[in-house]
């Protein structure tokens, strides 16, 4: 008997999208439970600690996997682009120079914003912090900024 879908041999894209969905559903569920069960002060402290540890570990994995080197703005900025690409975010590079790289993402194409906005109202502020955490793992001499405008979010990497 043939099944309509072969769940054992899923295509890589379907596997990847399923894992992203799994990951984001996990985040929203954890946030919901913690928000209901913990007082605000404890909740806020745990969110900061979890976020810092998770993104630091993820950055380290990217650094090792892609052999990224400190001191190179392109290597520093590529960490953020990897996350954008993995989450199918479309961005446009508007500046790519030795001391500054700027990417612009339309908010409607920001997977993190679309999926996590319901639980993290100030998601763009978190995005700036996440970006800095991952950059600091490679080279803390660079700065990440996320600038929110009407329909876009501008991500800048610059030397400090």
Mean pLDDT of 71-89: 85
What's the CA angle centered on 69, arms 144 and 58, to 5 degrees?
A: 60
pLDDT of residue 1: 46
Q: Which CATH architecture has domain 12-159?
A: 2-Layer Sandwich (3.30)
Check residues 84 and 69 and name the one with the higher pLDDT: 69
pLDDT at 110 over 70: yes
> What's the rounded Cα separation, in Å, for the pair 138 and 57?
11
% of residues, the chain, pLDDT over 70: 89
Q: How far is CA 65 from the centre of its chain?
A: 17
- The pLDDT of residue 113 is 75
What are the CB-based long-range contacts (under 8 Å, 24+) for 11-20?
16/86, 20/86, 20/87, 20/111
């Amino acid at each position: 008997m043939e099944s309509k879908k072969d769940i054992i041999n899923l295509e890589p894209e379907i596997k990847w999208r399923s894992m992203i969905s799994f990951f984001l559903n996990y985040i929203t569920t954890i946030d919901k439970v913690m928000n209901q069960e913990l007082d605000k002060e404890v909740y806020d402290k745990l969110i900061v600690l979890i976020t810092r540890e998770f993104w630091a570990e993820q950055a380290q994995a990217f650094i090792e996997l892609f052999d990224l080197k400190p001191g190179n703005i392109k290597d520093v900025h590529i960490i953020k682009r990897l996350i954008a690409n993995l989450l199918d975010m479309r961005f446009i590079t508007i500046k790519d120079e030795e001391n500054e790289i700027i990417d612009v993402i339309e908010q409607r194409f920001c997977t993190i914003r679309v999926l996590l906005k319901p639980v993290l109202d100030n998601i763009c502020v978190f995005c700036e912090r996440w970006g800095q955490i991952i950059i600091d793992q490679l080279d803390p001499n660079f700065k990440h900024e996320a600038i929110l405008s009407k329909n876009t979010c501008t991500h800048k990497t610059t030397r400090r």
